[in-house]
């Protein structure tokens, strides 16, 4: 498969581009990440945050984040802003349920991302009671591979139990997220089968981007053939219709656009997505590890920052350098995901370029 866009996709992308321009002008805050802790009960090989059991940075007091929500609620409808509790591992906080109940009481729907290790039935019930709307659980393979990736012998077992709880808790919205790497790539079909048997309906797949602990790990980075094969796998899985597989939000994918996600590529960081990081920094999604913070909740009013700053997120003209300078796809990718840029503004990964390393169809794992 080459990377040429069909006329249909090109027209779709042009419509999408108009949408993007409108959204950038309006920049409605729709998702707000709260990095509530950097502590974690696992030591994952691909961790973008480089989290540890005992973090250098203390957890953010709930009251500090709740003040941010008060400021947001004065300027926008809280029902329209989805709070995503993230970490570290949010379940490391003993007061998580109490924090989230407060978030919910202020009118903000909320969800969380967890590794599932500490998701006991009692905690799950308490989270539901605190207004949990959606939950994402990480699963990076079947037992041996997942535990290898996560560095814990019981990790798979707990995810397995957690999935059973989630399936029974529908209509709670949940999905499973899998980081594809060299080790679990050949197992993708087996993982799919496992998830279908468990009753999972939504499966989000992403590939490692070169940041955090994964940056220098050769087991993490797929070959060019595997990289393309991952998209062929997602596309084929979607066509099967037994489970809705999607590629994560990062990366413009050329001819794979519209075939592996429910939308065209977009990076909504700083446009519809904001974040409050552990030290109070005001940023966008938590995958952005380079310092593109726009302020700090301990100095600035969040909504003032949201309305008046965020220029690097909303005007990507500074990204049009290096390989991007003359690339005809810049029109659609706008320099790729914000989190794929280092502190100097250099692009760490261009998905199109990686796909072009292997223009032939990938080998779909079976």
Partner 1 sequence: MKTMYKKITSFLLKLLGFSSTFVLAACYGPSPTGYREDQMVVDGDSVAVVDLAEEDADSMAIINTPSEDE
Q: Is 263 in the site for partner 1 (CB under 8 A)?
A: yes
Q: Is 328 in the site for partner 1 (CB under 8 A)?
A: no
Q: Which is nearer to partner 1, 119 or 301 (CB)?
A: 119
Query: Which of 119, 205, 272, 355 touches partner 1 by CB under 8 A?
Result: 272
Q: Which is nearer to partner 1, 86 or 184 (CB)?
A: 86
**Cβ-count burial of 54 within 10 angstroms (0-12 exposed, 13-18 middle, 19+ buried)?**
exposed
Single out the residue of 119, 137, 126, 130 nearest to residue 173, CA to CA: 137
Report the alpha-carbon distance of residue 242 to residue 51 in Å, rounded.
Answer: 35
Sheet holding 295-296, edge to edge: 244-247, 202-207, 173-180, 132-138, 110-114, 82-86, 31-35, 273-276, 281-283, 295-296
Q: Is 79 in the site for partner 1 (CB under 8 A)?
A: yes
Q: Which is nearer to partner 1, 66 or 172 (CB)?
A: 172
Query: Which of 49, 115, 136, 230 touches partner 1 by CB under 8 A?
Result: 136
> By CB under 8 A, which span of 34-42, 44-52, 74-82, 185-193 interacts with partner 1?
74-82
Residues 6 or more apart in contact with residue 27 via CB below 8 angstroms? 270, 271, 272, 306, 310, 314
- Angle at which helix 96-105 crosses helix 121-129, to 10 degrees, equals 20
Closest distance of CB 57 from partner 1, Å: 23
Closest distance of CB 133 from partner 1, Å: 6
Q: Is 8 in the site for partner 1 (CB under 8 A)?
A: yes
Calculate Rg over the CA atoms of the chain.
20
**Site track for partner 1 across 167-206, x = CB under 8 A:** ----xxx-x--------------------------x-x--
Alpha helices in the chain (DSSP H): 7-26, 62-75, 96-105, 121-129, 143-150, 155-168, 188-198, 224-240, 302-308, 311-314, 330-333, 351-357
The site that binds partner 1 (CB under 8 A) totals a number of residues, namely: 46
**Interacting residues with partner 1 (CB under 8 A):** 8, 11-12, 15-16, 18-19, 22-23, 26, 30-31, 77, 79-80, 82, 84, 107, 109, 111, 125, 128-129, 131-134, 136, 171-173, 175, 202, 204, 246, 249, 258, 261-264, 266, 268, 272-273, 285
């Amino acid at each position: 498969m080459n990377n040429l866009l069909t006329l249909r996709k090109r027209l779709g992308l042009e419509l999408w581009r108009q949408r993007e321009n409108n959204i950038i002008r309006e920049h409605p805050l729709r998702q707000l990440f709260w990095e509530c802790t950097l502590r974690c009960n696992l030591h994952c090989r691909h961790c973008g945050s480089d989290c540890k059991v005992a973090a250098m940075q203390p957890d953010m007091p709930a009251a500090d984040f709740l003040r941010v929500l008060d400021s947001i609620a004065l300027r926008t409808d809280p029902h329209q802003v989805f709070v995503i509790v993230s970490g570290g591992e949010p379940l490391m906080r003993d007061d998580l349920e109490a924090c989230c109940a407060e978030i919910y009481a202020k009118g903000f729907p909320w969800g969380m991302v967890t590794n599932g290790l500490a998701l006991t039935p009692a905690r799950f019930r308490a989270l539901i009671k605190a207004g949990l709307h959606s939950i994402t659980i990480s699963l990076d393979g079947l037992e041996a591979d997942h535990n290898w990736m996560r560095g814990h012998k019981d990790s798979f077992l707990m995810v397995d139990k957690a999935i059973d709880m989630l399936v029974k808790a529908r209509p709670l919205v949940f999905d499973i997220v899998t980081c594809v790497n060299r080790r679990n790539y050949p197992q993708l079909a087996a993982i799919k089968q496992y998830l279908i048997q468990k009753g999972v309906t939504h499966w989000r797949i992403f590939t490692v981007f070169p940041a955090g602990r994964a940056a220098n790990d050769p087991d993490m980075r797929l070959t060019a053939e595997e990289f393309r094969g991952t998209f062929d796998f997602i596309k084929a899985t979607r066509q099967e219709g037994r489970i809705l597989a999607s590629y994560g939000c990062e990366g413009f994918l050329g001819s794979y656009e519209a075939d592996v996600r429910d939308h065209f590529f977009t990076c909504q960081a700083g446009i519809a997505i904001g974040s409050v990081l552990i030290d109070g920094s005001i940023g966008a999604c938590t995958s952005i590890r380079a310092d593109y913070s726009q302020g700090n909740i301990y100095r600035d009013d969040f909504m003032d920052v949201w309305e008046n700053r965020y220029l690097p997120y909303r005007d990507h003209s500074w990204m049009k350098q290096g390989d991007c300078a003359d690339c005809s796809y810049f029109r659609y990718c706008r320099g790729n995901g914000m989190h794929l840029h280092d502190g100097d503004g250099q692009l760490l990964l261009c998905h199109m370029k990686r796909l072009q390393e292997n223009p032939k169809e990938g080998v779909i794992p079976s």
